[in-house]
Chain A
């Protein structure tokens, strides 16, 4: 037998043995611990924001455990990287359900959230993720999905409400919509169409190709349309490229960034070009004077990990923190009443009324027929390089 073959055989035997060994419950799980599974993108296509989100969720769990957990029971967060690949998310999910016996799941993106939507309904496990697609709030379609932040469509509605308030006459307002050429980017499109048709707005939709290294041609198209406002639905990297290219070609307009485009990364990357951009941000920025930001900073300082305004944390970190806070509240209420299962957590979450996430989001209210947590947000604007609130809490008018 060749030497290499022997090595491969040995490696495989060791691997299989290790795998068998690992099937006994993993380390650290005391009997009373409440297990929550988490699926994060730490190395995949969206890991630039996936990592701070994951760190936010993990930080909240450590923080609450440090404060004694839930009536003395600790939360055991079992998290793994799925590299933004749906098949990895499914594998991890089935492992969490049948081996780790988790009671709830924290997910991440559009792909994994959609792929697991029906599975979590059959397995009766509440699920929260950073995907803020409106169709997840439809209880008939997605009975176990909970959307904590303001969904993309509502963000668009708030942005357009703001725009309409600025002008006395709605007819003839020109709004360009720049979006990531993917389902994520197109998510708020129908909200735009409805409002534009109702109010007589003129619109232009321009896709930003994924992985583009230059958006000048797209911006020139926008420039020819001469819009009053440009709404952007993308991640911060491409959004800042759009801002820089717009500054170069001399496009004079007001940019309005929806959630994933509006964060510190935009300010850091686009520099002066980001000045004056408006952001619909459902999460309190690091500079905000709210209770949760103080908690986060206290926690981080205690661990010697800097502060929330560091480059590798920021808004998305807070988003992760707040999402886990809401999930934990559901678990806490279920625990107070008796058994903690996916079903009891769901019932308790649906009973949440004006739950305060420490000021990171607007108060969270779910209902049996409504899994949309927040429907209100402040509007921010980049002033002197920081996101500054320019409005009070604005609610979606439906």
Chain B
């Protein structure tokens, strides 16, 4: 098997970023039972705010240093998360699932239009955040910024796991996800939990987006499409499992890289890697509907 190790590492790197974006879905779903089709657009907003502060001409005090710009973008993300929860999702509590799905789809169209109206849709060069010199790792050449991305994704995933396990807020969020009424009667503010979940999801999306933008070197509004790519990830891992999102992300990353590396040419099916995750998704849904780590819901009448 030629190229095995390089493909493995490539899969791991991409998988970590998928995991990060998928984490946003899982967080929102876990705490609020909402599946967020606008996750890609939350990412888009975060990335473009950072971009505007660092590179956009005509913006006051340009250019902002990276840490300051990213901090500002994360603050915007928190605000956006709270705003969306308050204005859009709260009125829909108790509505059927299709309404909730559609409202986030509507939101994604709206956010994308707003970003496009401000920044245009042309491809913009994204200045590098991390040094990108090439280093050799187990005989495979990768750039330093990809290692940074892997490290940051790993750290973030670890922090969030710890947050849910040990912090009071994290435990309150898990309680709210488990049973909203019971949580309410224990004095947990569901509104606060929801707002926090959306904020964290927006923050995580922004960081994930910055890592992708840094890797690509350029951004345009179709960056938001990444939101769709992570559905196989969350289904594979289970919609409500953080470790599931991580492992699901890495598995999908590997599948893409190995199918691109081996299967395409062998089977004569070019471009197989873009559909294989979805085929896998259907198979998993048939065999293990709640994913590898998802919690099975038992319904009682």
Residues in chain A within 8 A of chain B (CB atoms): 42-43, 45, 47-52, 181, 204-207, 209-214, 216-218, 220-221, 223-224, 236-237, 240-241, 244, 247-250, 265, 268-271, 311-312
Q: How far is the CA of A134 from the CA of B220 in the complex (A)?
A: 29
Q: Knowing A47-B221, A206-B270, A207-B270, say if A217 contacts B260 (CB, 8 Å).
A: yes
A220 partner, pick from B6, B13, B215, B256, beta carbons under 8 A: B6
Let me know if A224 and B260 touch, CB within 8 A: no
Q: Knowing A207-B271, A268-B218, A270-B217, say if A48 contacts B123 (CB, 8 Å).
A: yes
Let me know if B265 and A214 touch, CB within 8 A: no
B212 nearest in chain A by CB position:
A213
Q: How far is the CA of A212 from the CA of B11 in the complex (A)?
A: 13
Q: How far is the CA of A270 from the CA of B273 in the complex (A)?
A: 24
B122 partner, pick from A45, A213, A311, beta carbons under 8 A: A311
A181 partner, pick from B6, B14, B225, B270, beta carbons under 8 A: B270
Chain A residues, Cβ within 8 Å of B274:
181, 207, 209-210, 212
A-B contact pairs, 25 of them (CB 8 A): A42-B121, A45-B222, A47-B221, A48-B123, A48-B220, A49-B122, A51-B120, A181-B270, A205-B270, A209-B256, A209-B271, A209-B273, A210-B274, A211-B226, A213-B14, A213-B216, A214-B13, A214-B215, A217-B258, A236-B123, A240-B217, A241-B217, A241-B218, A268-B218, A311-B125
B10 partner, pick from A45, A52, A220, A240, beta carbons under 8 A: A220
Q: How far is the CA of A181 from the CA of B260 in the complex (A)?
A: 13
Interface residues on B, range: 35 or more
Nearest Cβ on chain B to A248's Cβ, whole angstroms? 5
B257 nearest in chain A by CB position:
A217
Q: Is B141 an interface residue (CB 8 A)?
A: yes
Q: How far is the CA of A359 from the CA of B84 in the complex (A)?
A: 52
Chain A residues, Cβ within 8 Å of B6:
216, 220, 249
Q: How far is the CA of A214 from the CA of B264 in the complex (A)?
A: 17
Q: For window 192-238 of chain B, which residues contact chain A by CB distance below 8 Å?
A: 212, 215-218, 220-222, 225-226, 229
A237 nearest in chain B by CB position:
B123
A237 partner, pick from B2, B11, B218, B260, beta carbons under 8 A: B218
Nearest Cβ on chain A to B268's Cβ, whole angstroms? 10
Q: Is B100 an interface residue (CB 8 A)?
A: no
Chain A residues, Cβ within 8 Å of B271:
181, 207, 209
Q: How far is the CA of A6 from the CA of B6 in the complex (A)?
A: 63
Nearest Cβ on chain B to A42's Cβ, whole angstroms? 7
Q: How far is the CA of A398 from the CA of B123 in the complex (A)?
A: 36
Q: How far is the CA of A221 from the CA of B258 in the complex (A)?
A: 10
Q: Knowing A211-B229, A217-B7, say if A265 contacts B141 (CB, 8 Å).
A: no
